Every structure is written in C-alpha cells, then in structure tokens.
Amino acid sequence: MNFKSLASLAPKFSLSRGSKPRYLGSFLQSQRRLLSTSDEAGKPAMASVYPVLPGELTAHFQLRTGQSFTGGSFGANTASMGEAVFSTSLVGYPESMTDPSYKGQILIFTQPLIGNYGVPPRDRDEYGLLKYFEAEQIQCSGIVVSDYSAKYSHWNAVESLSDWCQRSGIPAITGVDTRSLVHLLRGQGSTLGALNVGSKKLDIGNEVQWFDPTDGNLVDQVSVKSPKIYNPSGTVSIGLIDCGAKNNIIRLLCKSGARVTVLPWDYDFVPIINEFDGLFISNGPGSPSFCQKTIENLKKAFEVYHRPIFGICMGNQLLGMAAGLQIYKLPYGNRGHNQPVIELESGKCVITSQNHGFALDDSFVPEGWARSFVNANDGSNEGVRHLTKPFYSVQFHPEAQGGPLDTTYMIRRFVNDVVAHKESEWRQSEAQLFDSQLGLEESSKLQMALQ
Ligand SMILES: NC(=O)CC[C@H](N)C(=O)O
C-alpha cells in the first residue's frame, strides 16, 4: 500500500461542518483515563491520554519505530504520513502550521493546550500578503496535541482550529501524551509517523508501505513557479531566492524599503545578478541537498557579485554548502521559539525562533569564511559569514512570526547594508566619471586641494 492509499483506510463517514466540537479540552479532564498503547516493536509501551466520549472519532498516531498513540480526531477525517517532529513553542500554531518549512512533517506541539485562541482571519497587508499566516494554506501534514481546546477566545479569531484543519484536509489528534512522545523522539531520534482517523490502527509493515515525503524535493513544491515582484516602488532591489519563503520575510524586506523580486529556487539568476542590489536566500522544507541548482548558482555568484547576500535557515545551509561546508541531519532538530544562540563576535546571547532538522557542520570552515553564531544548547552551527565580502547567513529565523523579535533588526540591517553598498557604488562611479572628464592628474590635484 502506498502513501496515497492511506487515505482510503480512513472511515468513509465525515465530520459535519458546523457540528459541535467534540473535544472539550481541559473541561473534560475529569473524564480522561490513561490507556496503554500497543507496541509492535516490543519496546516499552507508551501511555496515551484519551478523552473517552461516546460516539467520537478515534485517531491513531503511529511511528515507524513501532510505538503507537491513540486519541481523538479533531481535524480532517483522513490519513497522512510525514516526519514526526516536535516544536517547543508556546504560541504561534497558525504561523507554524503555515510555515512552508514544515511541509511533509507531522507537527507535535509540546505546549499542552492548543487551539485556545482559535484561528485568525485571512486579512491581507499592503503588499497583498496574508497578515496572520506564513503561506496561503496549511503546510504540515498533520498535528498532534495533548489537549485540544475546542473553546477558543481571542479578539481576532474567526474559527476554531478544528474547523480550520477540517476545511484544509489536515488530520489532527488530541489526547496524546506529548511529553512521553517527545521523550521518545529525543531518545531515539526523529522518525516517520502516520496519523489516521478511525477505530482501526494501520497494520504497519503489512498493509502500509512507509513513505518518506522528505525523500523528495519539497522545495520545488513550495517555491514560486515564476518571478513575482512585491513593493515595486522600493528604493533598493532585492532578489529573493524562494525555497519556501515565509510571508514575514517578504514583508520585513518590503517594510525596510526594498523592492523584492521573488525568484524560483532553481532560477538561473546569475546572468541578471546585477539587476539586484542584494540577494536573499529563504527558509525551506526538507534536505538542502535537493537544491544543488541553487548551490551551483550561489558558487557562481560568489565569484562575480560583490553586493550583500543574506541567508536564513535553509538559506544558511545553502550559502554554507556553496562556500564548501558539509551538511548533516540533527538527531531530532531544533524547533521552537526559545532557542538560545550566541553571537561569537560579541558574546551576546539572543533568544530565537527556529525550525530545522539539518545543520551545517562547522568543524571545517573553508578559508575566507568563519562561523558567526552557535547554538547555546547543543553547540550546532547558527551562522556563517565571509571574512571580506558582505555574504552572511543565520540558521535561526530573525523574521520570527511566531517567536521572539530579538533579531528582526537583522533584516533591517541587511537592507541598510544593501543601501550603503549601492550608495558607495554610486559614489565610486561618480568619482570615475569625474576622473575621466577632468583627467586623472587634474582630478587628484583638485582632490588634494579640496582636502
Ligand atoms: N526552516 C528551514 O528553512 C528549515 C531548513 C531545512 N529544511 C531543515 O530542516 O533543516
């Protein structure tokens, strides 16, 4: 059985829209009981907190390593598979779930209460970007929570998380002991998970073939198909290589005064590189090794381009790989809004938003380059920079959304850097023009006299 046919295992009846929410979160704490889950791999059984209410849909979350968790469904009546990853963020589920970097992943929230502030409207900002979401639709393959809060309350909410998931075809499970699940993933490393709705668990190994969506090029699925311009009246022009850019990256670049041309990840931008005053490489899903075309383009850009280049997350990995560093997969990744990062030059610690499973191996850094930031928890790479050219990148997300705003200044600083380079190029070309008109000798005499 392949991934597609997983959906056919889901029960044929569906949840009716507008029906009363089935899981009443903490209100029903008293009706909960602990159930043990089966463990096909013979490993210690995990416990699941399952709110038992008559007539509700059961859901199962099963790992390739054999453990399974039973709970209640509050999302779409369907099945999905993906890399099981956890985020330690306390808030920001609308932003995380729509972050294209979560494509192909089932997102487990360690914050126990999820859904309590509902889902915001699809309002757009002055650039036409969705204000409260990072992409046009949900990107993750499913969500796993401990305690879904059907009763939501927020001035800006227009619907429940359950309704949003159902409308978007995303399965969601509540009543899972996410603490034990995270302990498990931290111990054994990340693995594939399958989420399915219905009383029957998947017969993993027999009826289901595990299919890893991250084995394919996910960046190609989320990147724009042709160049797209935002804020055409911006004073400097930035080419954004789109590996799955979050809306807030584009927004902050525009707000800082840039005209942003979003380019497909594999766009052959080198022949037109001088149209851009600066280049930006975005975040994106899956392994950076699928983006060889981007890496090759960046290698060429390093030779011919002297203006600022800034990369974020996947952008850090691609910039680093183009510089000659190696990439490796972290055991379970860093995802959350509370990741401490040390800036090596200043020794300053910043709290950052993160969402990545891969990291640059900075034990070897090619000549001319340096590592610039390091993770204070696990020592993994958080940034690299060129020693003489304005090429730099960070593994964390300065654009936040959600998460702390400690490092949003980096996006403004990059645009300021671009402006400063443009001005200095302009001054140089004016000086050259002056020299060629006056003759070099007179010009230097004049300059001496003016000093
Ligand atoms: N947010 C990102 O850009 C993630 C980069 C890459 N997909 C990783 O998991 O490491």
Cα separation, 402 vs 29, whole angstroms: 29
362 and 406 together in one domain: yes
Cα separation, 23 vs 206, whole angstroms: 32
| Ligand 1 neighbours (beta carbon < 6 A) | 101, 283-286, 313-314, 355-358
Catalytic residue flag (residue 60) = no
pLDDT at position 208: 72
282 and 364 together in one domain: yes
192 and 236 together in one domain: no
As given in the structure block, the two tokens for residue 384 are 């690299």
Span from the CA of 314 to the centroid of ligand 1 (angstroms) = 5
Domain count, the chain: 2
Atom of ligand 1 nearest to the CA of 99: 1
pLDDT at position 209: 79
Cα R_g (the chain), whole angstroms: 25
pLDDT at position 207: 66
Task: List the domain range (segments joined by +) for residue 193.
Answer: 3-214
Atom of ligand 1 nearest to the CA of 354: 1
Return per-residue pLDDT of the chain as tens, 451 residues.
444 444 444 333 333 333 333 333 332 332 233 333 444 443 434 444 444 443 469 999 999 999 999 999 999 999 999 999 999 999 999 999 999 999 999 999 999 999 999 999 999 999 999 999 999 999 999 999 999 999 999 999 999 999 999 999 999 999 999 999 999 999 999 999 999 998 888 877 676 778 888 889 999 999 999 999 999 999 999 999 999 999 999 999 999 999 999 999 999 999 999 999 999 999 999 999 999 999 999 999 999 999 999 999 999 999 999 999 999 999 999 999 999 999 999 999 999 999 999 999 999 999 999 999 999 999 999 999 999 999 999 999 999 999 999 999 999 999 999 999 999 999 988 888 877 777 766 767 766 776 6
* Active-site entry in 134, 313, 337, 382: 313
CATH number of the domain residue 147 falls in: 3.50.30.20
pLDDT at position 7: 42
CATH number of the domain residue 408 falls in: 3.40.50.880
Span from the CA of 198 to the centroid of ligand 1 (angstroms) = 32
322 and 186 together in one domain: no
Residue in 223, 314, 353, 399 to alter for ligand 1 test, most ligand atoms within 8 A of Cβ: 314
Atom of ligand 1 nearest to the CA of 286: 7
Span from the CA of 255 to the centroid of ligand 1 (angstroms) = 25
Cβ atoms of 138 and 165 within 8 Å: the answer is: yes
Nearest CA to ligand 1 atom 3: 283
Contacts of 412 (CB under 8 A, 6+ apart): 252, 256
186 and 312 together in one domain: no
pLDDT at position 4: 43
Q: Is residue 451 part of a domain?
A: no
Span from the CA of 361 to the centroid of ligand 1 (angstroms) = 14
Atom of ligand 1 nearest to the CA of 315: 3
155 and 249 together in one domain: no
pLDDT at position 437: 75
Catalytic residue flag (residue 399) = yes
Catalytic residue flag (residue 243) = no
Instruction: Give residue 233's identity as a one-letter amino acid code.
Output: S
Span from the CA of 213 to the centroid of ligand 1 (angstroms) = 14
